[in-house]
Structure 1
Amino acid sequence: MTLAWSLDMIGRCVTSSRRSPRSGSRCPYGEPCWSSAYAAPAGRRAPAKTSNVLKPLNVSAASASWETEMKRLMMIGAVAGLAMVPLLRAQTAPAGRGNAGATRRSFEKFTVEGQPIDRRPPELDTDHPVFPGQTHAPYHKTTDVAVTTIASGLDNPWAVVLLPSGRFLITEKPGRLRILNRDGSALHTITANLPPVYFRGQAGLLDVALDRNFASNHRVFFVYMRIIDADNCVQAVDSATLDEDAGTLSNVHTIFQGTPFTNRAVSQTGSRIAIDPKDGNLFVALGDRSTGDPIPMQAQQPDKYLGKVIHITPEGKPAPGNPALGLPEVWSMGHRTPQGLTFAPDGRLWAVEHGPRGGDELNLIEKGKNYGWPVIVHGINYPGTQIGDAIVEKPGLEQPRYFWDPVIAPSGLVFYRGDLFPQWKTSVLVGGLAGQAIFRLELDNDDKVVNEEPLLTDLNQRIRDVRVFQDGAVYVLTDGAGGKLLKLTPSNSQTRQ
């Protein structure tokens, strides 16, 4: 990144700072671009031409008045000062669509044993951890990883599950299910009987999960967005019967429908499903859909499903034992956009969720708890303004077990279970979209993160989903129109404990 490029991009955003973000457009710093002038060409990180902000000063009588030139000088000085922040914080800008939230982090300079992998300052100067070890855990290298590409050319893949037959079932955001053979070869592409999917921004066909008794009933669940009228769409969970040999769906019906929202609210979807291994009930993480400044309090409103984790039966009814948090399906509240949801080996439920600019979180999800968004938060709004009272703690609101600031844009979460990576037995793996890595976090007996290790940093790929299947290998979906399914196994290099 050059100073000229930073000046140009800040200048473009400043000159049209009150315009609405364009769908699919990304600022070079990874946030919604407020300027209609910027649209990065495919494969390019810098604009094709420079902005007027970078023109040399001209104080001749033929150009403009001295007052005008002085104003332009002050503008350039201010822009240059602003430009130094991203220069210090970022090395390159992320490519592709996805969640707004952060710049690409260059870890090659920060993988020093025992030191935090990211030593940049927080987005908000007054931000601070509430307890020791809540952020910036020390780096610890465990093992080198071998990466095998199972499949490529996937169209915005979002989730992958392993069928009992050994085949892969993958969702694609535009509204398709793919069944791949174990070797990655295509078997079926399913669109028939899928409901109409609203595909825009972060909306689309998202997570998929297998019924606990899938081997006998062949039942699947999936989360998606659909249009309900001219102005609104809604988040829904459907159930269906899958015939993987024929590549068909039947008995498709909606078991849960969330709170309607405007079609323009295509971010902060959440949408992960976790099946309770004890009873087969569903936990579904729903984003708060909030946009704008100030942030609406939808995640705190008990009469809305937005910003909640719900707990329902396979038929869509409120699960027995739910707390009294307003709507009968709600298990927890105060979430922004949880895009990772999984059970630990001990049966407890965990989630990762996106913060704004700063404050991505790893949370232990417990019955009846309020996780604080947007009352307490680490970070700031995308335009740079503070959120609410800019506080990070308040009685009665839960603290994240760990947070990232600056952010990684987490998507996908799994506890490692298997024998291929024995040194990961107490680790959780988190996919990073903006971070362009998998983040391995080791937890101690008190649920404290004691070290952190970024994996796959050399691939420069946005990570959408992370899974561990029965063979003990780690399976990864990369994000975007040319998505891949990757398999991670230990390499032959020396492994550290």
Structure 2
Amino acid sequence: MSVRLIAFTAALLASTACSAEPQRQGGGATAVSSDVTSGPQGPQVAGSNDPVPKNAPAPTARNVPATTGRANMPATPPPVAIAEMGQFDAPFAIAFLPDASLLVTEKAGALKHRAADGRVTNVGGVPAVAGGGQGGLLDVAPAPDFASSRAVYLTYAEPRPNGGSSLALMRARLEGEQLRDQRVIWRAGSDGPGGQFGAVIAFAPDGKSLFLTSGERQRFTPAQDPEQLLGKIVRLTLDGKAWPGNPMYKAGGARAMTWSSGHRNPYGLVFAPDGRLWEEEMGPRGGDELNLIEPGKNYGWPLVSNGDNYSGVEIPDHPSRPEFQAPVLWWNPVISPGGMIAYTGAMFPQYRGSLFITGLSSKSLVRVAVNGAQARAAERWDMGERIRDVAQAPDGAIWVIQDGEKGGGGKLLRLTPKG
């Protein structure tokens, strides 16, 4: 397809965000030792430690090109005032606390607490992480009842005793500037090499369960394996067990935890005000996706994608296999999506109900207007730097953080109305 040829250069620029780089083990200065053999243990599949493959499995269907839903649009200057609020070292996620202070994860293994007055301190008690590539300390999410429980959830690439790493979910209590009562409550299993952890947390609107994105670790086929938790969105209780209302709960094991399957590298997961669950994920060479997530549905990776392998080998588009859920919107050339919010604040009333998606290789912030199950690309703001994550402050301001480089290049920015 000609649009795929156009996408090649942009996809190469995205490779630092979604390339097939094996993970190297490391840890942050604040890491604490822990027994990684304790706690929940996911399935260990034969071949998990094999090198990651270069291409998706050979196509089993004739390609039927996707003709609707492409969301690319020209970038424009941001129509907002932008103020720098600090710098961080290779940050991954930002999350506001009720007092307008901010938690920031740095991939090397540090958790920072930025007070409302701008003071930044290190939080102690952070788990050891497998750093390098796309691994490290990843998402952070305060519990819905944080004001009373002080509970926070962390996702990270955990070094594993049988080789490589696994996505892990930890629950802890934030007491002052220290994590207490740390407990790993969930692991993806299928330990081994590969990036693409996903690792994003979203709480159900009623605050009684959580959703977690688990990437397929650049291994392709686990996304279609119901016995593995890779390439899935899982729904869990707040203590990491399978949610009783899940589509295959009675089947037990990985199936019991699975909410949806067929995902590649899901970096954004949010509930819209109407309760619908939206997810965005990095595609391969082209084909980044915005999906409306429904229980029990399969979104097709790696059997279908509106992008291709990095080698140039074609993957059939979604219309080739209509039994899979197609994205509502997709981008080719890629935007390399990072974090995402559904905006609900008072500071920008014109944006209420919109999704904001950060762009890494595209160096952008993308606004998507949502109406029920429908979505349309509305704006793409040229931010000039790779944007990793986005958060809505208690006052309704939009905060973003740049991807940055080691040494403090990740700028924290506050977006407010001009004038």
TM-score scaled by structure 1?
0.69
- Match 1:359 to one of 264, 287, 290: 287
8 Å contact 1:416–1:428 — kept in the other structure? yes
- Give the counterpart letter for 1:233 in structure 2: S
- Indicate whether 1:477 and 2:401 are aligned: yes
- Match 1:461 to one of 358, 364, 385: 385
- Indicate whether 1:384 and 2:312 are aligned: yes
Q: Secondary structure of 2:350's match?
A: helix
- Give the counterpart letter for 2:267 in structure 1: Q
- Indicate whether 1:193 and 2:125 are aligned: yes
| Residues in 2 aligned to 1:474 and 1:440: alpha-carbon distance in whole angstroms | 12
Equivalent residue, structure 2, for 1:175: 109
Q: Secondary structure of 1:448's match?
A: strand
- Residue 143 to residue 207, structure 1, CA distance change in 2 (3 Å): closer
Q: Within 5 Å, give how 1:13-92 maps onto structure 2.
A: none
- Match 1:285 to one of 213, 238, 243: 213
Which one has the largest radius of gyration? 1
- Match 1:341 to one of 255, 269, 274: 269
Q: Secondary structure of 1:261's match?
A: coil
Equivalent residue, structure 2, for 1:413: 340
The offset of 1:194, in angstroms, is 2.0
8 Å contact 1:466–1:477 — kept in the other structure? yes
The offset of 1:390, in angstroms, is 5.4
Equivalent residue, structure 1, for 2:173: 241
Q: Within 5 Å, give how 1:200-349 maps onto structure 2.
A: 200-229=132-161, 231-243=163-175, 246-263=176-193, 265=194, 267-291=195-219, 296-324=220-248, 327-349=255-277
8 Å contact 2:215–2:231 — kept in the other structure? yes
The offset of 1:337, in angstroms, is 0.5
| Residues in 2 aligned to 1:96 and 1:90: alpha-carbon distance in whole angstroms | 10
The offset of 1:437, in angstroms, is 0.4
Equivalent residue, structure 2, for 1:396: 323
8 Å contact 1:377–1:392 — kept in the other structure? no
The offset of 1:351, in angstroms, is 0.7
Q: Secondary structure of 2:234's match?
A: strand
Equivalent residue, structure 1, for 2:17: 98
The offset of 1:230, in angstroms, is 5.3
8 Å contact 1:168–1:179 — kept in the other structure? yes
The offset of 1:221, in angstroms, is 0.5
Q: Secondary structure of 1:364's match?
A: strand
- Indicate whether 1:129 and 2:51 are aligned: no
Q: Secondary structure of 2:266's match?
A: strand
Equivalent residue, structure 2, for 1:160: 94
The offset of 1:137, in angstroms, is 6.1
The offset of 1:406, in angstroms, is 1.1
8 Å contact 1:342–1:413 — kept in the other structure? yes
Q: Could you report, residue by residue, the CA deviation over 1:100-150 in whole angstroms, capped at 9, with x for unpaired residues?
A: 49xxxxxxxxxxxxxxxxxxxxxxxx774354xx11366697971110111
Q: Could you report, residue by residue, the CA deviation over 1:440-459 in whole angstroms, capped at 9, with x for unpaired residues?
A: 1122345131x43111x1x4
TM-score scaled by structure 2?
0.81
Cα RMSD after superposing both structures: 2.5
Equivalent residue, structure 2, for 1:427: 354
Q: Secondary structure of 2:233's match?
A: strand
Equivalent residue, structure 2, for 1:147: 82
Structure 1, unaligned runs of 5 or more: 1-84, 102-125, 493-497
| Residues in 2 aligned to 1:386 and 1:97: alpha-carbon distance in whole angstroms | 21
- Give the counterpart letter for 1:189 in structure 2: N
8 Å contact 1:332–1:368 — kept in the other structure? yes
The offset of 1:231, in angstroms, is 2.2
- Indicate whether 1:452 and 2:378 are aligned: yes
- Indicate whether 1:439 and 2:366 are aligned: yes
| Residues in 2 aligned to 1:196 and 1:138: alpha-carbon distance in whole angstroms | 41
The offset of 1:396, in angstroms, is 2.4
Calculate percent identity across the aligned residue pairs: 37
Q: Secondary structure of 1:356's match?
A: coil
Structure number with the bigger relative contact order (C-alpha 8 A, sep ≥ 6) is: 2
- Give the counterpart letter for 2:96 in structure 1: L
Q: Could you report, residue by residue, the CA deviation over 1:58-117 in whole angstroms, capped at 9, with x for unpaired residues?
A: xxxxxxxxxxxxxxxxxxxxxxxxxxx67x97599859953349xxxxxxxxxxxxxxxx
Structure 2, unaligned runs of 5 or more: 21-62
| Residues in 2 aligned to 1:180 and 1:143: alpha-carbon distance in whole angstroms | 25
- Residue 423 to residue 402, structure 1, CA distance change in 2 (3 Å): same
Equivalent residue, structure 2, for 1:122: none
| Residues in 2 aligned to 1:146 and 1:97: alpha-carbon distance in whole angstroms | 29
- Give the counterpart letter for 1:480 in structure 2: G
- Give the counterpart letter for 1:213 in structure 2: D
- Indicate whether 1:369 and 2:288 are aligned: no
- Residue 463 to residue 166, structure 1, CA distance change in 2 (3 Å): same
- Give the counterpart letter for 1:129 in structure 2: A
- Residue 100 to residue 480, structure 1, CA distance change in 2 (3 Å): farther
- Give the counterpart letter for 2:340 in structure 1: L
The offset of 1:484, in angstroms, is 1.4
Q: Secondary structure of 1:467's match?
A: strand
- Indicate whether 1:491 and 2:415 are aligned: no
8 Å contact 1:127–1:379 — kept in the other structure? no
| Residues in 1 aligned to 2:307 and 2:360: alpha-carbon distance in whole angstroms | 18
8 Å contact 2:164–2:191 — kept in the other structure? yes
- Residue 287 to residue 272, structure 1, CA distance change in 2 (3 Å): same
- What is the total number of aligned residue pairs between the two structures? 366
The offset of 1:385, in angstroms, is 1.1
- Give the counterpart letter for 2:378 in structure 1: E
- Residue 278 to residue 227, structure 1, CA distance change in 2 (3 Å): same
- Residue 89 to residue 260, structure 1, CA distance change in 2 (3 Å): closer
| Residues in 2 aligned to 1:433 and 1:94: alpha-carbon distance in whole angstroms | 9
- Give the counterpart letter for 2:154 in structure 1: F
| Residues in 1 aligned to 2:302 and 2:83: alpha-carbon distance in whole angstroms | 40
| Residues in 2 aligned to 1:269 and 1:129: alpha-carbon distance in whole angstroms | 27
List structure 1 segments (4+ residues) > 4 angstroms apart after TM superposition: 88-97, 137-143
